[in-house]
Amino acid sequence: MPANATPIPSVSERLPAIFAYPAHKAMLWMIAALCVLRLLNHLPSLLGWVFELAFWVMGFKLAVEALVNTVHGRFEPMGAEDMMATDGEAVNQILLMLVVFLPIQAIALWGSPVLALWLLAFAVLFLPAAVMLLAVDDSLPRALNPLAWFPLIGRLGGVYFGAVGLLAAMVVASIVLQVLLLMALPGTMAQLPGSFVSLYLLVAGYHLLGYVIHANHAALGLDVAPAVPRARFANPMEDDAVAEAEALAEAGDLAGAARRLQEMFRGRGASDALHDRYRQYLKQAGDNAGLLDHGREYISRLLATNQDKRALAVLTEQRALDASYRHALPDDVARLFAQAARTGQAQLAVALAEGFETRFPDHPQAPQVVMTASELMADRLGREAEAEQRLRLMSYKVRGHALETPLTDLLARVGRLSAISRGPS
């Protein structure tokens, strides 16, 4: 270790933090959510098994993430959106457990219980080495190879056996707690806290193994790189661009900050978070023209990624900047209109649909847009006469169309409303 390197605390010094690891907010809510999900394993037939399998796959995914992150010196859990462990890694860990424990269970049931106990003791002693090898190398055959266990155990020495003893105590504690819960509570009520205990100790155990590797990486001959911060945005390039933009903004150059982020839009594009930060700088700089130009493309991008709600919010910002703003693409306008109508924004929906059938006369959704907009005009906005006129003009264009009958019925209803609003002639 270099003279100026920070000493790595021993496993025993780190134990309180190891046991507290799953209690971190980022990890705790995921454990709790999985435990609630597991309650669905009582559903009949295959569906219950699917939820049980999902619980264990996601549980081992959290555990592998804890081990690998800790090996590389990241001692706080990552949020769900930052997880890098894969389902395949979790499934491999489950397969490892099945390969080890199913034969032992079979021997205990149909063979010699004494032999099963010896094999269980053997598994307790060597399974942690297999788990570490599998998590680091992602190779199930290597993890099951005793020739790979012994060099690992030999280099770790007493630290390994201390970890084995601690893990065995955690397993015993988990079993005892779950038995006590079953005795104190009915089966279904005991499952939720029992699942929590199992998953909490599983994650803590894998975190412990990760720390054993991290603290002894020199003896293992591993080059453990310093912790690499996860990208705040889509990738490190975006992080660098945002850092430069923030420096420019702090220096008062908001236009320069916006330009730096604008460079990221070219080529393969940029994340929504970067687009939003770009709009933030444009707003602070008072660059309304820039916001309007950006919004035209950004709305289409959001719709292309099925973010209709956010696209409608950006369009609302556009209209606040320029009341005459009209989005140019007919498919986009139809979707924005539908989103506004669905969410009860009648005034905005009608404004978006204004003149749709004349701007885009051949658009296949024009009849539906006119019908929905006219209904909102008559029922919500007190504009019965305008709605009637609009429907009447559209009625000539939908003859033979699937919407002819619904439109005719709506026209009759709106016509009655219009007559009532006009009063006696």
- Within a 10 A sphere around the Cβ of 319, how many other Cβ atoms? 17
Contact 115, 123 (CB under 8 A): no
Each residue's pLDDT tens digit, 166-195: 999 999 998 899 888 888 887 678 888 888
Q: How far is CA 354 from CA 267, 373, 418, in A?
A: 36, 8, 19
Pick the more confident residue, 222 or 378.
Answer: 378
Q: What is the pTM of this model?
A: 0.54
Pick the more confident residue, 270 or 366.
Answer: 366
Residue 98: its pLDDT value, please?
92
Helix intervals (H) in 72-186? 87-110, 113-137, 140-143, 146-156, 158-184
Instruction: For residue 182, give both structure tokens.
Output: 């079953």
CA distance 301 to 177: 52
The DSSP line for 21-33 is GGGSHHHHHHHHH
Each residue's pLDDT tens digit, 363-411: 999 999 999 999 999 999 999 999 999 999 999 999 888 999 999 999 9
Pick the more confident residue, 219 or 129.
Answer: 129
Confidence band for 327, pLDDT divided at 50, 70 and 90 = very high
Average pLDDT, stretch 90-114? 90
Exposure on the CB side of residue 190, measured as CA atoms within 13 A:
13
Average pLDDT, stretch 300-316? 94
Each residue's pLDDT tens digit, 125-163: 999 999 988 887 778 898 999 998 999 899 998 999 999
Which residue type is seen at 370?
A: V
CA distance 221 to 18: 23
CA distance 328 to 363: 13
CA distance 357 to 418: 22
Question: Average pLDDT over the chain, rounded to whole?
Answer: 87
Contact 61, 82 (CB under 8 A): no
CA distance 370 to 355: 9
Residue 303: its pLDDT value, please?
95
Contact 255, 289 (CB under 8 A): no
Exposure on the CB side of residue 197, measured as CA atoms within 13 A:
18
Residue 126: its pLDDT value, please?
92
Residue 87: its pLDDT value, please?
73
CA distance 255 to 285: 6
CA distance 47 to 125: 36
Contact 314, 298 (CB under 8 A): yes
| Furthest-apart CA atoms within the chain: distance in Å | 102
Residue 222: its pLDDT value, please?
67
Residue 9 DSSP symbol? P
Each residue's pLDDT tens digit, 39-74: 888 787 788 888 888 889 998 988 888 888 888 777
Residue 268: its pLDDT value, please?
58
Residue 135: its pLDDT value, please?
82
Confidence band for 225, pLDDT divided at 50, 70 and 90 = low
Residue 264: its pLDDT value, please?
86
Residue 361: its pLDDT value, please?
92
Q: What is the CA radius of gyration of the chain?
A: 32
Instruction: For residue 54, give both structure tokens.
Output: 């999902």
Confidence band for 312, pLDDT divided at 50, 70 and 90 = very high
In terms of Cβ atoms closer than 10 Å to its own Cβ (0-12, 13-18, 19+), residue 144 is middle
Contact 268, 276 (CB under 8 A): no
Q: What percent of the chain has pLDDT over 70?
A: 92
The C-alpha angle with vertex 19 and arms to 13 and 21, in degrees rounded to 5, equals 105
